[in-house]
Amino acid sequence: MTKKERVYFIIQKLQKLYPEIPIPLDHQDPYTLLIAVLLSAQCTDVRVNQITPILFAKADNPFDMIKLSVDEIREIIKPCGLSPMKSKGIFGLSKILIDSYNGEVPQSFEALEALPSVGHKTASVVMSQAFGVPAFPVDTHIHRLLFRWNLTNGKNVVQTEKDAKRLFPKNLWNDLHLQIIWYGREYSPARGWDLDKDIITKTVGRKAVFEKYYKGKN
Catalytic positions, please? 121, 139
> C-alpha 85: how far from its chain's center?
19
Instruction: Evaluate whether 48 touches 83 at the Cβ level (below 8 Å).
Output: no
- SS3 for 40? coil
Burial of 12 (0-12, 13-18, 19+ CB in 10 A): exposed
Q: Describe the crossing of helices 120-129 and 30-39 by its angle, rounded to 10 degrees.
A: 150
